[in-house]
Structure 1
Amino acid sequence: MQKKSFPGFTWTKGIGYAFLTFFVQKAFGVHRFPFFPDRVFEDHPSPGNQRIIVEAVQSLTPARINAICDELVSIYRRTQTLLKDKGLSEVHLKRMINVIQDRPTAQDSYAQTIMRLKKAAQATGQAAVQFEMDILNSWGDDGGYPHYPIMLLKTVPATDVLYFSNMIATRDPSDYMHKDAVEPGEWVVMNRSSTGLVNFAANEILFDEEVYNEISGWTKPAYERFLKTHSPFPFRKASRIGERYVHRSAGWRLTAKGRLLDVLLRIFG
């Protein structure tokens, strides 16, 4: 493949992230239940991206896939060694969600749903709430990742950390879209949940109430109804896109025997 075919998982979650997720799932045995795939796999690729994806998969022989997975395992082992040397069995991280939306439709955005879940837990005394996260998620430490106004806090097992910014060297910008292979202060953490759902206590979800102010009408009974009807499960389906060549004249036609079989099947099932 040519260089710069598509961006990797540095500043966006696109084709590069999708392939990295595939390799991580294979290398570390991270599996999702049917119907709950990572969000990136439901995206409808543009015709240009479809060509890039086909080119990529055609170049990925079993040997190349195994080599990439082996490299990921080596990176992971190095990560674990560095964390163990510091005596860390867990790390305290934060994830910022930079979304500004003023009262969206009834189908709340991801960010607004998280804020609603926090308030619902506080109003009803529920210990924790659940919502979906991707298989690979970028978290930050105090040294970077300054997005806001919504912040998630989490104590993450060290064994779930794939890599972090201080261990990844910069690279030649003439060969890549970005000099930094990862964002400053970034920690990439694996979500091993088979459903994609992660538990959060209400105090692990923070948002700037000078930016967001709750609309009126949300009483405790309203929050109880919300929690009763809200489902965090991210049902998704995949579909085949433009996979058939159809000639304008017609397709295949039934013979006399075929038409007879068709009638019999309709009658007798």
Structure 2
Amino acid sequence: MDKSQLLQQDIFNKPEDKYAISSQLLRACIGGSTRITTLGADDTENIFHGFQYSKKSIGYIFLCTLLYNALHIRRYPYKTDRIVASLGSSAFTDLTLHHNVNLWHQRITPQQWHEAEEDIKGLYGHVQKRLSIHFPSQKTIYLKRHIQGKYAFALKSRYCQAKEAGLSFILLEMDLLNSYMSLPDYGYSYAQDRDMVVLTIEINLEDILYCHSLIRPYSEGFSYNAEDTEEGEWVVINRTCDGVIKLPLDAISFPEPYKVKNINHHWYEAHSSEIPCYIRPEAYVGITHILRYLQEPPSGLKKLIQTVKRYF
């Protein structure tokens, strides 16, 4: 049986599949909103937001730090994770996040950091062991990721540009940690957004940090209002030193049929977009990580001349 076509909870359905997180700090980093009273916080400032709550959270930043220290996952200093790099920017939300990170960092003792580092090593080791048991002859697994909103439009534009240039891939910058779903899991509905883009990516099993069904929901001695991860969620490590992955065009699909018919329109929209364009690996990379766009597409007259030349 091809287990990649099964629901996550049907694959990891034994008690020994579940890892009990012992570090309250690690569990808070992974989870949503956790009330922590053992880290020196008072009643008004003891809500810790984790990765499940938002990527722009204290928990996500601390989780990245744990990866650096415990699993030695490194980025180039000038290509750090975008959320970590946003600390200290002029945006109010980022300044607030910067303040909260400093506040919580002062409350956490070296011993608590050490316990969290040891626990994330244990979690990763457990996940890798269970994956090797359930997928004994596999090195990779296909997972999917749904993109909506302005990022979906940007991906369509890049897809269109790559097609026009005769490329078979685009370059895409991704965060240090990214959430995926199994192929048969229905975490999102196509009806939610007709402009949704679906990425179906071949993931190395060794890059999977954890998934929903491999974590025991609650550990003894702690009380939580919600589970730590979303049902069906896989959290994958991006090990590239610059954060940029090579994404084949055939990994990109459009639930709503997408016709590449207006190259000029999409090019001009992409050119004016603030979202970085990652198409040409040979293009100049500036400080802002934005690659130069493809040359302006030919006009209708130039296309006609090119077509005529093929037959004469």
Q: TM > 0.5 between the two?
A: yes
What residue number does 1:145 align with?
187
What code does the residue aligned with 1:190 have? Answer: I
Q: Aligned in 2, Cα 1:146/1:35: closer, same or farther, shift over 3 Å?
A: same
Q: Aligned in 2, Cα 1:232/1:95: closer, same or farther, shift over 3 Å?
A: farther
Given that 2:180 and 2:236 are in contact with CA atoms closer than 8 Å, whether structure 1 keeps it comes out as yes
What residue number does 1:98 align with?
148
Q: Which of 94, 100, 105 is 1:57 aligned to?
A: 105
What residue number does 2:262 align with?
216
Given that 2:161 and 2:263 are in contact with CA atoms closer than 8 Å, whether structure 1 keeps it comes out as no
- Secondary structure at the residue paired with 1:74? helix
Given that 1:195 and 1:233 are in contact with CA atoms closer than 8 Å, whether structure 2 keeps it comes out as no
What residue number does 1:9 align with?
51
Given that 1:129 and 1:202 are in contact with CA atoms closer than 8 Å, whether structure 2 keeps it comes out as yes
CA distance in 2 between counterparts of 1:54 and 1:117 reads 38
Q: More displaced, 19-28 or 47-56?
A: 47-56
Given that 1:5 and 1:52 are in contact with CA atoms closer than 8 Å, whether structure 2 keeps it comes out as no
RMSD: 3.3
Q: More displaced, 31-40 or 158-167?
A: 31-40
- Secondary structure at the residue paired with 2:245? strand
Given that 2:174 and 2:244 are in contact with CA atoms closer than 8 Å, whether structure 1 keeps it comes out as yes
What residue number does 2:302 align with?
none
- Residue by residue, what CA displacement relative to the aligned partner does 1:22-70 show, whole Å, maximum 9, x if unpaired? 1112212111112212111215446654443222111333333222111
Q: TM-score, normalised by structure 1?
A: 0.71
Tell me how far 1:232 sits from its aligned partner.
9.4
CA distance in 2 between counterparts of 1:11 and 1:97 reads 18
Q: Aligned in 2, Cα 1:46/1:228: closer, same or farther, shift over 3 Å?
A: closer
> Does 1:136 find its partner at 2:173?
no
Tell me how far 1:231 sits from its aligned partner.
6.0
- Residue by residue, what CA displacement relative to the aligned partner does 1:73-127 show, whole Å, maximum 9, x if unpaired? 100010001110011421110011122xxxxxxxxx4433322222222233212
What residue number does 1:27 align with?
70
What code does the residue aligned with 1:155 have? Answer: E
What code does the residue aligned with 2:144 have? Answer: K
Q: Which runs of 5+ in 1 are unaligned?
A: 100-108, 238-269
CA distance in 2 between counterparts of 1:162 and 1:216 reads 40
Tell me how far 1:10 sits from its aligned partner.
1.2
CA distance in 2 between counterparts of 1:16 and 1:56 reads 10
CA distance in 2 between counterparts of 1:139 and 1:180 reads 17
Given that 1:97 and 1:147 are in contact with CA atoms closer than 8 Å, whether structure 2 keeps it comes out as no
Higher relative contact order (CA 8 A, sep 6+): 1
Q: Percent identity?
A: 24
Given that 2:171 and 2:280 are in contact with CA atoms closer than 8 Å, whether structure 1 keeps it comes out as no
- Secondary structure at the residue paired with 2:216? coil
- Secondary structure at the residue paired with 2:52? coil
Higher-Rg structure is: 1
Q: Which of 58, 61, 64 is 1:18 aligned to?
A: 61
What code does the residue aligned with 2:66 have? Answer: F
What code does the residue aligned with 2:125 have? Answer: R
What residue number does 1:183 align with?
230
